[in-house]
Amino acid sequence: MTQKKKKLPRVFEYFRDEDQFAGGVAFCAGCPLELTLRILSKVLGRETIIVGTPSCSAPVLYGQNIGTWHRLPYYSCLMTGVASSATGLVRYYRKIGKDVTVVCFTGDGCAADVGFQPLSGAAERNENFIYICYDNEGYMNTGIQRSSTTPFGAATTTTPVGVVGRGKEMSAKNLPLIMAMHRVPYVATATLSHMEDFIKKLLKAKEKKNEGFVYIHVFSPCPVGWGIESDSAIQVCRMAVRTNYFPLWEAERGRFRLTHTVATPKPVTEYTKLIRKFRHLTEEELARLQEEVNSNFAFLHHLAEFETPKAC
Amino acid sequence: MVIRKKFSSKYEAGWSDADELLLCLDTGSWRTKRPVVDKEKCNYCGLCALYCPPQCMLNLEDYFAPNLDFCKGCGICAKECSRGAIAMVPEGEFADEGAKR
C-alpha cells in the first residue's frame, strides 16, 4: 500500500525552539499551566528570562535543591516585587547591550491582588518586558482561596457553600481591561483552546516589548480547584470563549480589537455545568452571572467598535 | 521519586547534553489510564500533540503516539481527538508489560 506522506498542520511551524523543560515536571496531570509554559519556551525561544513568584508555577520554575527542571534563566522574587525586579533586569540587559526577552510569569493572585501596585507602576513607566498572568481564578497553590478574579458564585475554601455561604458574593475584577486602560503598547487575553491565537499573541508580544510594556492574560482552568476532570481543561477553555465568559481580544495603546468573535454565544450555563465550583448556583444566581457576562462583553464590544475606524 | 540520570534518548527535550543536575520526574508512574492510538483512524491532524500538557506526543511521521515515560494520563489527547482515535485504557490491562519498562 502506497501512502502519501501526511503533512503536519501549520501551527507547528510557529515552534521555533525546542522545549526547554524536562520531560516530567511536577505539575498536576491535565493542568494547562504546564502547556502554557512549554508553548512559551517553544515560541519565545532560549533568550528568555522568566521572573516568577511563589505560585503554582514555582515548584517547577525554582528547581529543587541544586537541580533544575528547565534550562531557562529564572529570577525568583516575592509577589510584591515581580514587576520591579523585571524592571531592573531589563535595564541591566539594555545597559550591557544584550537582547533578551524578560517574561514575568505569575498567577492572578500576584497580578491582581498582591503584586498589582508594581505591575501598574511598571505599566505606567512603560518598561520593556512581557507580563503573563495565568488566571486560574484563585490562590490554587495555597489551597484554593478566593482572589479578586474569582467570579461571582464560585465556591472556594474561603467562600464556602453551606447553610450561610453561597460562594463568592462579589464580581470578578476585569484585570486585562484595567491593564489596557494604562494604554500600554500591547494587552491581550488568550486561552489554550485557541492555540494559534495564543501563539500569534506571544509572537506579537515579543515584537511589541521593544516599544514598551506588554501584558497577556491567559485563562487557565485549575482541575483541582475548579473540580473538573483532568481531561476537560481544554474543553472548559473553549466553552469559556464560546459563551463570551472569556472573550479573546487585544488592545494596542488603547485601540481594542476582538481577535475571535462568536457568532451565536452559548448561554453561560453551558460553561458552568462543566465546573463543580458552580454546581450550587440557583436560577437567579446563574441569571446574575449571565448578566455580568453580557455587560462585560457589551462594554468590550463598544470599545472595539469605538476604536476601530471604518475608513482604514 | 526524582530520577537523576544522563539523558540520552532522542525523545528528551532540547537539552540532551544536560548534565546530572537537570531533574526529571518519572511522571509516567502517575498514570492510571494509558492513551492508545488507533493508527488507522489517526489522520495526523496534530491536535493531541498540540494540546498535550507535557508535550509528550511523539511525531512518528504517520501518526502520533504518547511517550509513556512522561505521559501523566490526563486524557486531554483522547478528549480533543476529533476522530476518536485515542482510547484511554486502564493501566491494569498492561500489567504484564511492567518488566519491560
Residue A70: name the closest of A95, A103, A96, A97 by CA.
Answer: A103
Amino acid, res. A228: I
Tell me the pLDDT tens digit for each residue of B26-46: 888 889 999 999 999 988 888
Closest Cα of chain A to B66: distance in Å?
A: 12
Question: Is A192 at the interface with chain B, CB within 8 A?
Answer: yes
Residue B80: which of A9, A67, A234 has the nearest Cβ?
A: A234
Tell me the pLDDT tens digit for each residue of A227-239: 999 999 999 999 9
Residue A35: its chain B contacts at CB < 8 A?
51-53, 55
Question: Is A163 at the interface with chain B, CB within 8 A?
Answer: no
Contact A71 B18 (CB under 8 A): yes
pLDDT classification of A1: cutoffs 50, 70, 90 = very low
Q: What predicted TM-score, i.e. pTM, was given to this entire model? A: 0.89
pLDDT classification of A18: cutoffs 50, 70, 90 = confident
Domain ranges, ordered by start, for chain B? 41-93
Closest Cα of chain A to B74: distance in Å?
A: 5
Domain ranges, ordered by start, for chain A? 27-305
Q: What is the pLDDT of residue A62?
A: 84
Question: Is A233 at the interface with chain B, CB within 8 A?
Answer: yes
Residue A22: which of B23, B51, B79 has the nearest Cβ?
A: B23
Q: What is the pLDDT of residue A172?
A: 92
What is the C-alpha separation between A56 and A50, in angstroms, rounded? 14
Residue with cell 492555540: A195
Q: What is the pLDDT of residue A36?
A: 93
Is the pLDDT assigned to residue A140 strictly greater than 50?
A: yes
Q: What is the pLDDT of residue B23?
A: 78
Q: Is A225 helix (H, G, I), strand (E, B) or coil?
A: helix
B interface residues, A as partner, C-beta within 8 Å: 2, 4, 11-15, 18, 21-28, 30-31, 43-46, 49-56, 59, 61-62, 67, 69-70, 72-76, 78-80, 88
Contact A34 B53 (CB under 8 A): yes
What is the C-alpha separation between B68 and B101, in angstroms, rounded? 10
State which H helix or E strand residue A236 sits in: helix A233-242
What is the C-alpha separation between A304 and A232, in angstroms, rounded? 31
Q: What is the pLDDT of residue A105?
A: 94
The CATH number of the domain covering residues in B41-93: 3.30.70
Residue A229: its chain B contacts at CB < 8 A?
75
Tell me the pLDDT tens digit for each residue of A270-297: 999 999 999 999 999 999 999 999 999 9
State which H helix or E strand residue B27 sits in: none
CATH superfamily, with its number, for domain A27-305: Thiamin diphosphate (ThDP)-binding fold, Pyr/PP domains (3.40.50.970)
Is the pLDDT assigned to residue B80 strictly greater than 70?
A: yes
Tell me the pLDDT tens digit for each residue of A233-261: 999 999 999 999 999 999 999 899 999 99
Task: DSSP letter for A159, please.
Answer: S
Whole-number Cα distances in Å, A237 to A70, A107, A133, A192, A232: 26, 17, 15, 7, 9
Contact A234 B56 (CB under 8 A): no
Q: What is the pLDDT of residue A19?
A: 86
pLDDT classification of B10: cutoffs 50, 70, 90 = very low
State the DSSP string of A62-117. H-BTTBBSBSS-EEE--GGGHHHHHHHHHHHHHHHT---EEEEEEEHIIIIIITHH
Residue A17: its chain B contacts at CB < 8 A?
14
What is the overall mean pLDDT for chain B? 79
Residue A8: its chain B contacts at CB < 8 A?
44, 46, 59
Contact B14 A20 (CB under 8 A): yes
Q: What is the pLDDT of residue B20?
A: 52
Q: What mean pLDDT comes out for the span B82-88?
A: 92
Task: DSSP letter for A171, please.
Answer: P
Tell me the pLDDT tens digit for each residue of B65-77: 999 889 999 999 9
Contact A8 B46 (CB under 8 A): yes
Question: Is A19 at the interface with chain B, CB within 8 A?
Answer: yes
ipTM for the assembly: 0.87
Looking only at the bridges linking them, the beta strands covering A214-219 and A130-135 are parallel
Q: What is the pLDDT of residue A66?
A: 65
Q: Crossing angle, helix A82-96 and helix A116-125, to 10 degrees?
A: 30
Please tell me the least confidently modeled range out of A134-138, A301-305, B84-88. Answer: A301-305
Query: Closest-CA residue in chain A for B59?
Result: A8
Tell me the pLDDT tens digit for each residue of A63-113: 776 677 888 888 989 999 999 999 999 999 999 998 899 999 999 999 999
Is the pLDDT assigned to residue A216 strictly greater than 90?
A: yes
Q: B75: alpha, beta or left, given left = phi > 0 and alpha = psi -120 to 50?
A: left
Q: What mean pLDDT comes out for the span B74-97?
A: 90
Tell me the pLDDT tens digit for each residue of A145-180: 999 999 999 999 999 999 998 999 999 999 999 999
Query: Closest-CA residue in chain A for B17?
Result: A71
Is the pLDDT assigned to residue A124 strictly greater than 70?
A: yes
What is the overall mean pLDDT for chain A? 90
Mutate to test the interface with A, among B22, B26, B52 (most CBs of A within 10 A): B22
**Considering chain A, what percentage of its residues have pLDDT values greater than 90?**
75
Phi and psi, residue A107, nearest 5°: -85, 180
Instruction: Please give the residue that has the higher pLDDT: either B19 or A270.
Output: A270
